Amino acid sequence: MGDMSRKRQITIVDLAEAAGVSIATVSNVLNRRNVPMSEETIRKVEEAAEQLGYRRNVMAASLSRRKSYELGMLVPGFGGYYGRFAEEMQRMAHLHGYHLSVFSAAGFDPEIEKRHLDVLLQRRVDGLFCHGLAMSQDATRQIVRDGTPLVLFNGWGWPGDIAIGAVNLDFAGGVEAAVLHLYESGCRRIYYLSRPEAHAVDAQRRLGFQAGLARLPEQVESGILETQRYPGSVEEAVDGIGKLGAGEGPVGMIGFDDFTAFTFMSAVQSQGLRVPQDYKIIGINNDPLSALCYPGLSTLDIPYNDQAKLAMELMLQKLGGKEAEGEEGQPPQAEEKNDAADTPEIRIPLQLMARLSTQP
């Protein structure tokens, strides 16, 4: 690469010379035009832009000149809820003329986080959607400082200077309703199978669990059992409880998600205990198998489409686009919570799907 003076602004002419390509090719790469280009050509131009410090110049110009119609999304992983929500967000972005690139935190590896951050900045995304556990607050601040609006989903307690809003599923309210449902189904011992490594997401479930217990007309035996995402962990929780279901009425169990609830249900049945006679079990996420397994698993349904609509609506309002009404018309009703110190929050209620696993 040639030595360029830092006293003047780098232009696409400089990039073309440094990358060994035409000015038209540089323009096509930077503006993400849908024209035939080899991976090698794109790489050369992006590397030249990075080394010459052109990236921030382009971003600053794009804020006043035009949109890239590129959006980014960061999720902790691609399994379960994350994958399904990412699909819904890609569909929503497409409906409004945007392309959405989805990145996984891949186990919170700091090197991968840095790589994602670099790519997002190079692509000049118009906006970013980020799960509250997918990237550190310091990393997301770097994107915000470059003028990119950020919308959180399932992110609680973030400072108000980072995101324009958070669209959160009301896990606390859903678990609170689940506790009441178990009590009404005859359970006088109720437990929550938690997932501590899920941090704020697990904390919301714990809040709902305690709130539900406080609303019961009488005190019941209760507890929070910590598990991890492997079957043996849940089986250990079963052993820790012991055969509480034997002759003493049903024990109510709420799993961190459907996977946890499925694993627990399998473990107790392998010990000769019955569902729902000895144990009544509720999961979260309404995975397709929850309605197909036997006994059918009671669970909290996730309104993926509603959450995607509201997240896109927040982003479009910031970008100056129209509201994300979708096929059904107006976005769903949700509770708005504002705190001057925190990111403004929209809460989306969850619906309890009662099936055989909690039948009275």
Element (H, E) at 346: strand 345-348
Domain boundary among 31, 49, 65: 65
- 306: DSSP letter: H
Tell me: do 227 and 282 sit in the same domain.
yes
Element (H, E) at 71: strand 70-75
For residue range 11-54, list pLDDT tens digits in order. Answer: 778 888 898 988 778 877 776 655 677 888 888 888 888 888 77
For residue range 143-178, list pLDDT tens digits in order. Answer: 777 678 999 999 998 888 889 999 999 999 999 999
Mean pLDDT of the chain: 82
Tell me: do 206 and 292 sit in the same domain.
yes
Whether residue 7 lies inside any domain: the answer is: no
Domain boundary among 65, 90, 109: 65
Tell me: do 162 and 147 sit in the same domain.
yes
Q: Are 152 and 166 in contact (CB under 8 A)?
A: yes
- 342: DSSP letter: B
Count of domains for the chain: 3
Whether residue 4 lies inside any domain: the answer is: no
Q: Are 276 and 282 in contact (CB under 8 A)?
A: no
Question: Within 10 Å of residue 146's Cβ, how many Cβ atoms?
Answer: 16
Tell me: do 128 and 235 sit in the same domain.
no
Tell me: do 229 and 274 sit in the same domain.
yes
Q: Are 279 and 242 in contact (CB under 8 A)?
A: no
Q: pTM for this one?
A: 0.76
Helix ranges (DSSP H) in the chain: 12-19, 23-30, 39-51, 54-65, 80-95, 110-122, 137-145, 171-184, 200-215, 231-241, 258-270, 289-292, 304-319
Tell me: do 136 and 190 sit in the same domain.
no
Single-letter code of the amino acid located at 98:
Y
Tell me: do 40 and 130 sit in the same domain.
no
Tell me: do 220 and 235 sit in the same domain.
yes
Whichever domain contains 91, its CATH number is 3.40.50.2300
Whether residue 36 lies inside any domain: the answer is: yes
Whichever domain contains 23, its CATH number is 1.10.260
Maximum distance among all alpha carbons in the chain?
83
Whether residue 3 lies inside any domain: the answer is: no
Virtual torsion, Cα 169, 170, 172, 174, nearest 10 deg:
-100
129 forms bridges with which residues in the sheet?
A: 73, 151
Tell me: do 187 and 270 sit in the same domain.
yes
Tell me: do 162 and 283 sit in the same domain.
no
Single-letter code of the amino acid located at 268:
V
Domain boundary among 47, 65, 83: 65
Tell me: do 130 and 149 sit in the same domain.
yes
Higher per-residue pLDDT: 70 or 322: 70
Single-letter code of the amino acid located at 222:
S
Domain that holds residue 107: 70-168+304-347
Q: Are 305 and 321 in contact (CB under 8 A)?
A: no
225 forms bridges with which residues in the sheet?
A: 193
For residue range 256-307, list pLDDT tens digits in order. Answer: 999 999 989 998 888 888 999 999 999 999 999 999 999 999 999 999 999 9
Element (H, E) at 352: strand 351-353
Whether residue 246 lies inside any domain: the answer is: yes
- Residues 167 and 87: their CA atoms lie apart, in Å, by 17
Whether residue 313 lies inside any domain: the answer is: yes
Tell me: do 133 and 74 sit in the same domain.
yes
Tell me the mean pLDDT in the region 332-355: 75
